[in-house]
Amino acid sequence: MNAELRAYLYKNLYYNPEVHVPNLRAVQMLEKLFKHYFAAPKQLPPHAQVRGRKLGWHRAVCDYLAGMTDRYAIAEFNRLFGE
């Protein structure tokens, strides 16, 4: 039953074009945000800058992005890239 469920989910959810295409756009958006903040860490909020100095910039940028809501990430993307 588990294999049937897995096959169903991959066919009808994970790789369904109605879900997959927006997911790919979200991945591209997050990649672009990551590259931006990693290249310009002074644009991170102060708490993320402190984490970057302590834990490294990769970790701090990942944590900052992970803490964003979808709505905030989209707004930030539009603010930074005007897209």
Residue 76 neighbours by CB distance under 10 Å:
17
User: pTM of the predicted model, to two decimals?
Assistant: 0.80
Structure tokens at 60: 């701090």
Give pLDDT tens digits for 46-61.
Answer: 999 999 999 999 999 9
Give the per-residue pLDDT at 12: 86
Over the chain, what is the mean pLDDT? 94
Q: Is the pLDDT of residue 18 over 90?
A: no
- Find the farthest-apart pair of alpha carbons in the chain and give their distance in angstroms, rounded: 51
Give pLDDT tens digits for 63-75.
Answer: 999 999 999 999 9
